[in-house]
């Protein structure tokens, strides 16, 4: 059986996890040079992280002027919808930190889902400067991902055709959830210097244990970035007592 990909860091609780990742992201950004691209995730743990980045503890340290923000997946809903990942991020971080408006790149929420996916793909390709990713030149500096109890990450859902997509950078996912979603595909998610899974809560313990054992084929276990892969996990999700 193959081993789990990536290294694991276990933190005491969701807040401790979020603070650790905020410090890691800030340090990584400060030590970089030039544009710094981040692909964001939705969820309660990321929301705490985003709030910390915009807090007095981190706001003055983070190089906001160099950072650009993207979303790994999004529900196809208006930007002001309660379920919008963009709205959550805006309320938690973007409206409270000195983020240049031109550095914010939400997933389009108008037209058809397929049209919105194509427009976002074209945005990513324009910012990257090519239509094919080069392992030697990752698109993102940091990609944040979550882990669902069913093993999904972003909107790469189990048994959906999007799991086998290797040409498109962004795709609409119209099955598997009540609402249509738009997601980055594996080639784009994997084009990152650092991919970080944020995993918190006892409800994630079973699926994380399965992935940690190695050999799993759930969507999250199939992420193989060109750069570093880190699993930031709280004690409950890690099954620690």
pLDDT above 70 (res 1): no
Contact of 142 with 24, CB cutoff 8 Å? no
SS (H, E, C) 71-87: ECEEECCCCCCCCCHHH
Assigned token pair, 54: 């915009």
Tens digits of per-residue pLDDT, 135-149?
999 999 999 999 999
Instruction: Indicate the pTM of the whole model.
Output: 0.96
Residue in the block written with tokens 């239509």: 131
Q: What is the pLDDT of residues 203-225, one digit of tens each?
A: 999 999 999 999 899 999 999 99
pLDDT tops 60 at residue 178:
yes
For the chain, what are the domain ranges?
Answer: 7-238
Confidence band for 15, pLDDT divided at 50, 70 and 90: very high
Residue 156 β-bridge partners: 153
Evaluate whether the domain defined by 7-238 bears CATH number 3.40.50.970: no
Instruction: Note the pLDDT of residue 179.
Output: 85
């Amino acid at each position: 059986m193959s081993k789990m990909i990536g290294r694991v860091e276990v933190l005491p609780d969701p807040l401790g996890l979020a603070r650790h990742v905020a410090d890691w992201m800030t340090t990584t950004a400060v030590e970089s040079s030039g544009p710094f691209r981040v692909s964001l995730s939705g969820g309660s743990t990321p929301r705490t992280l985003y709030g910390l980045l915009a807090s007095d503890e981190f706001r003055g340290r983070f190089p906001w002027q160099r950072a650009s923000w993207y979303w790994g997946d999004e529900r196809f809903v208006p930007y002001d919808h309660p379920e919008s990942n963009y709205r959550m991020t805006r309320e938690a971080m973007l409206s409270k930190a000195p983020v240049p408006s031109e550095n914010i790149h939400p997933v389009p929420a108008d037209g058809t889902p397929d049209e919105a996916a194509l427009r976002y793909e074209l945005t990513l390709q324009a910012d990257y400067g090519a239509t094919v990713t080069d392992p030697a030149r990752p698109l993102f500096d940091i990609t944040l991902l979550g882990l669902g109890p069913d093993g999904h990450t972003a909107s790469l859902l189990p048994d959906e055709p999007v799991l086998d997509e290797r040409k498109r950078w962004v795709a609409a996912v119209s099955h598997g959830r009540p609402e249509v979603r738009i997601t980055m595909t594996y080639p784009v998610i994997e084009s990152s210097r650092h991919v970080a899974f944020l995993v918190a809560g006892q409800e994630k313990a079973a699926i994380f244990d399965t992935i940690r054992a190695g050999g799993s084929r759930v969507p999250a276990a199939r992420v193989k970035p060109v750069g570093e892969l880190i699993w930031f996990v709280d004690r409950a999700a890690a099954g620690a007592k």
